[in-house]
A = this chain, B = another copy of it.
Amino acid sequence: MSFPARTTLPEIELGKTLQPKFGPDGLIPCITQDISTGQVLMFAFMNAESLGHTLKTKKATYWSRSRNKLWVKGEESGNVQWVKELYTDCDQDVVLIKVEQTGSANASCHNGYKSCFYRKLADLDSADYALEYTAERLFDPATVYKKK
C-alpha cells in the first residue's frame, strides 16, 4: 500500500493531496472520534498497510505495537468502528478519523468503556494527581475477550 509521496512544505500544509508522514518506525498517530458526539474514543497508530485497509474496508484498522500485527478494531469484540471521514493535520503527520461505532456494547476500550478516556484529574490544582471516573462501564471484559 502506498500513498502520495511527501512533496514541498506549502503543498503538504496547504495543498489538496493526502501526503501522510509515517515516522521512522513506519507509524502515524491516529485520533478516533465519534462522528455523532465528537467524543474522542481512542488513540492508536496506523502504518501504511492499516491506513490502506481502513480506506478499503471502512473499518478502522490500526497497527498493534504490542502484538506487532494489523489490528482490525472489533475483530474480536464485535465493536467495529465504521469510518465516515478522515482528516489530516497541517503538517500531515497525524490522522483523525470520525467513526460510527457499532457492536452490542458500543465500547471502544478493552476495559469496557465507550472511550478509552474514562478518567480525568479530579482537581487540576491538587498535588496528589487523583483521577475520577467520568463514565460507566458498558461490559465486563472477561465475558467479551476469551482467554486464549
Residues of A at the B interface (CB closer than 8 Å) are 3-4, 13-18, 29, 31, 33, 37-40, 42-43, 55, 58, 83, 85-90, 94, 96, 109-111, 113, 116-121, 124-125, 128-134
Contact = CB atoms under 8 A, between A and B. Distances in A.
B40 A121 contact: no
Tell me the number of copies of this protein.
Answer: 2
Contacts of A118: 90
Contacts of A111: 13-14, 90
B131 A15 contact: yes
A4 B31 CA distance: 26
A37 B13 CA distance: 24
A96 B18 CA distance: 25
